[in-house]
Amino acid sequence: MFPLQRGRRLRTNESIRSLVRETTLSPSDFMFPMFIAEGDNYKVEIPSMPGIFRRSIDLTVEEVKELFDLGIRAVNLYVKVDESLKDNTGKEAWNPDGLMQKAIKAIKAACPEIIVMPDVALDPYSIYGHDGIIENGDVANDATNEALVKMAVSHAQAGADFVAPSDMMDGRVLRLRQGLDAAGFHNVGIMSYSAKYASAFYGPFRDALDSAPREADVVVPKDKKTYQMDYANRIEAIKEALWDVEEGADMVMVKPGIAYLDIVREVKNAVNVPVTVYHVSGEYAMIKAAAERGWLDNDKIMMEQLMCIKRAGASLISTYFAKEAAILLKK
């Protein structure tokens, strides 16, 4: 006890603080979410996400090479699908010549060692903006799972290392594992969005992909609360993560990040697989907006939040700050 024990001795200067630091960050802790669009030499900034772009495949490949040189070892892919290709079946999602499939092939050809994790959900392909097939005014769970299996297998055929189901359908991890194995892709992993909450923090992301629920000429759910989780719940997140591990998930994800660090720790304590945390678009946008106004220091807040996510139990952080943080860490 004081005065024999003085906590400040271990905080005297940066050298001693670095010696006793419990949590550290490196570029290999990050995965970079990337938005892909049709075209050539196409790059357009997303207004609600300063510094984040929709890119054509050729520019995406160049960006991936830069990320790999910085030490980032994984990318999470999303596609902006042309309106003419959207319907209620999502069939464009498993087109072997689709935008996602072409992007996976191009990235793996140019940078074979980077881990490619394409998103598996139907909302970018849906005329209704939902993560599944609409039947009788609701998202049809089992029919959607059948579509997701086709989608995941097409990603594996294109060269994906992992598939990342973000749809929150019941039983989809088991169906994906069975489908991948039946197609001979035993070594393609599954990173499941296990505890994905129905959150308002996703707004800028939905702007990026035009994937928000829409008004329609048929009855459709007005939001995604029948499949994404209620943010009031904690025990449910543990249950969902454990179910996904039992069904064959190699990694589980908690989404969003900073506002859900209690869930990250609970899930980390409950499962025996790596836990990924998605530091989502709204969390990114808030920091950028405050920094632009001079209210916060972008770099300091960025690193503090990423460190807190890691400290809470994340093995991998999917973050729009990945490149910025990697550059800062390299310095």
Q: How far apart are CA 315 and CA 330, in angstroms?
A: 20
d(CA 282, CA 199): 10
If we measure between CA atoms, which residue out of 83, 43, 80, 82 comes closest to residue 61?
Answer: 43
Q: Active site residue: 86, 196, 288, 310, which one?
A: 196
Quick check: 314 and 271 in contact, CB under 8 A? Answer: no
Nearest-CA neighbor of 160 among 107, 223, 214, 90?
107
Do you find a cis peptide bond into 256, omega within 30 degrees of 0? yes
Which one from 86, 105, 255, 323 is the annotated catalytic residue?
Answer: 255
The dihedral of CA 203, 282, 230, 165: what is its sign? positive
Whether 222 is catalytic: no
Residue 233, number of CB atoms within 10 A of its CB: 14
- In angstroms, rounded to a whole number, what is the distance separating the alpha carbons of residues 174 and 178? 6
Written as one letter, the residue type at 249 is: A
Burial of 91 (0-12, 13-18, 19+ CB in 10 A): middle
State how far the Cα of 142 lies from the Cα of 122, in Å rounded to an integer: 13
Known catalytic membership, residue 196: yes
- The answer on whether 240 is annotated among ligand-binding residues is yes
Residue 74, φ and ψ in degrees, nearest 5: -150, 145
Cα separation of 180 and 236, whole Å? Answer: 27
Helices (H), 14-78: 14-20, 57-69
Per-residue tokens: 318:
């999917």
Q: Which residues are catalytic?
A: 196, 255
Binding residue positions for Mg(2+)? 240
- Known binding-site residues equal 240
